[in-house]
Amino acid sequence: MKAKVLLSLILLCGCVAASSARAEDAVPAGPPACEVPAYLLTTESQLPKTAEIIRDNKPLEILVIGSRSTAIPSSEDSSYPARLQAILKEKLPSEPVHVSVEIQSKKTAEEAASGFVKLMEAKKPTLVIWQTGTVDAIRSIDPDEFRSAVTDGVSALQQAGADVVLMNLQYSPRTETMMSVPPYLDNMRVVAQEHEIPLFDRFAIMRQWNDQGQFDLFNPTRGSELAKQVHDCLGRALAQFVIDAAHVGPAQQQN
């Protein structure tokens, strides 16, 4: 029952969060509400295969593996994967970009990772963005077991020849006191470091937006409208994150 309540709250909140950050400390990723502190979009890890594809002007295939928070049922074109594709097409006009989505609804990291070999054979992406951790936190999966599952999943994706970006849980003040999130955040960070892959810290970015007070996460009345705005911000931030991790120079981008 507790897990169902938590999942319902998270789905209700969706990705409802965004805020303005101080201009001198933020990376302008579009509208003022989408600004993100630079340190949250900085990574020492690289995306070499993605960089090669962009450099050679070849089609860039990106696969987003996630849960229900990946989508906006009433408006798929406004979801963050769709916005990621649109922004990358704007930034990289000379390279065809396609973002597909594989929703692993209500699956733990272990359950999702078990199908990665077949999924990679079917999709053959250059870059995989794996959004995980929420279901494990809701179900209180042992953090060590979670880390092991994420490790196995990342290894399977890399062995299939893809670059990998890990994306952690979404932030929601409605559920922050109802489940223990830090162990899952910490273990994803450890796996990312061990495999030398970028971690898109969605949790910290959304918390930053929330703390700045741009939107009221406790007020669900704006529903889909607010979710669209936040997904747009996430898509913009993620596009910038991918471009930076692939070390795409200014000459290759459309300003």
Which range among 104-108, 121-125, 186-190, 196-200 shows the weakest confidence by mean pLDDT?
104-108
Element spanning 137, H or E? helix 134-139
Cβ atoms of residues 205 and 237 within 8 Å? yes
Tell me: pLDDT of 11 over 50.
no
Q: Tens digit of pLDDT for each residue in 21-52?
A: 333 344 444 566 788 999 999 999 999 999 99
What pLDDT does residue 139 have? 95
Predicted confidence at residue 95, as pLDDT, reads 82
Q: How far apart are the C-alpha atoms of 17 and 14, rounded to whole Å?
A: 9
pLDDT digits (tens, 9 = 90+) for 166-198: 999 988 887 777 889 999 999 999 999 999 999
Cα(67)–Cα(202) distance, integer angstroms: 14
Provide the terminal-to-terminal Cα distance of the chain, rounded to the nearest Å. Answer: 50
pLDDT given for residue 10 in this prediction? 47
Average pLDDT in the 9-27 region? 40
Task: Tell me how far apart the alpha carbons of residues 168 and 156 are, in angstroms, rounded to a whole number.
Answer: 18
Q: What is the pLDDT of residues 49-97, one digit of tens each?
A: 999 999 999 999 999 999 888 887 767 889 999 999 999 999 998 889 9
Task: Give the tokens for residue 100.
Answer: 């597909």
What's this model's pTM, rounded to 2 decimal places? 0.87
Residue-range domains of the chain with CATH? 2-247 (3.40.50.1110)
Examine the pLDDT at 19 and tell me if it is beyond 50: no
